[in-house]
């Protein structure tokens, strides 16, 4: 195994935000990941049965929310960039990490493009008849839960979530730690 399980068990994840005045203790990473995956698995069945109209409305709402929250996203991204640093060897990664108004508009446009795509679920790309008369076909169905690990590119979060939603799949996304605020 590539990682030391003891270090993983001792590592923890700070809660992103506390609700009300309740203070939440840090959660060990293995428990945190297990909880995320369990919740995603629970949502997968519901996502698989969503109508095309509901999925498209959700994608359009995501695009609107991105545009409405652009100032907050830009401020959070600025915090990420400051924490990341300005060393010359980090310049290429910082460019990928950087959000601009134009990139946020492009992210929202990408969500709208996915909403405009035909729903892939239930499509039968191939059908044939066996010699005994039985019809056999391939039908597109959701996978269930998709896990995606990627570097610090905020646009990948929107693109991945959109494609998973459109295809009726739950997703667990893990971007780079450099983009924690945004």
CATH of the domain at 47: 3.40.605.10
**pTM for the whole structure:** 0.79
In a domain, 7, yes or no: no
Partners of 174 in beta bridges: 149
- Is the residue at 166 inside a domain? yes
pLDDT band at 106 (very low <50, low <70, confident <90, very high): very high
In a domain, 17, yes or no: no
In the chain, pLDDT over 90 holds for what percent of residues? Answer: 64
pLDDT at 146 over 90: yes
| Angle, CA of 42, 144 and 27, to the nearest 5° | 50
Q: Using alpha carbons only, what angle is made at residue 83 by residues 82 and 84, rounded to the nearest 5 degrees?
A: 90
Whether the pLDDT of residue 154 is over 50: the answer is yes
Would you state the pLDDT for residue 20?
Answer: 55
Overall number of domains in the chain: 1
Q: In which band, very low, low, confident or very high, does the pLDDT at 9 lie, cut at 50, 70 and 90?
A: very low
Q: What is the pLDDT of residues 39-91, one digit of tens each?
A: 999 999 999 999 999 999 999 999 999 999 999 999 999 998 888 887 888 88
Residue 30 falls within a domain, yes or no?
A: no
Residue 11 scores a pLDDT above 50 = no
Residue 25 has a pLDDT of 76
Residues of the domain holding 43: 36-129+138-179
Q: Is residue 91 part of a domain?
A: yes
- Tell me: the pLDDT tens digits for 110-123? 999 999 999 999 99
Residue 113 falls inside a structural domain = yes
Residue 68 lies in a domain: yes
pLDDT value, residue 2: 37
93 exposed, middle or buried (CB, 10 Å; 0-12, 13-18, 19+)?
A: middle
Residue 1 lies in a domain: no
């Amino acid at each position: 195994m590539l990682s030391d399980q003891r270090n993983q068990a001792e590592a923890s994840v700070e809660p992103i935000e506390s609700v009300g005045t309740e203070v939440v203790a840090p959660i060990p990473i293995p428990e945190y990941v297990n909880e995320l995956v369990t919740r995603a698995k629970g949502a997968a069945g519901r996502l698989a049965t969503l109508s095309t109209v509901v999925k498209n409305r959700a994608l359009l709402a995501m695009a609107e929310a991105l545009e409405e929250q652009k100032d907050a996203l830009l401020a959070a991204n600025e915090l990420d960039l400051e924490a990341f640093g300005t060393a010359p060897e980090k310049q290429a990664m910082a460019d990928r990490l950087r959000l601009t108004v134009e990139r946020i508009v492009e992210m929202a446009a990408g969500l709208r493009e996915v909403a405009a795509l035909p729903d892939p679920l239930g499509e039968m790309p191939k059908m044939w008849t066996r010699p005994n008369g039985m019809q056999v076909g391939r039908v597109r169905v959701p996978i269930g839960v998709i896990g995606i690990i990627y570097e610090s590119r905020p646009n990948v979060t929107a693109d991945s979530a959109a494609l998973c939603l459109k295809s009726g799949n739950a997703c667990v996304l893990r971007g780079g730690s450099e983009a924690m605020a945004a």
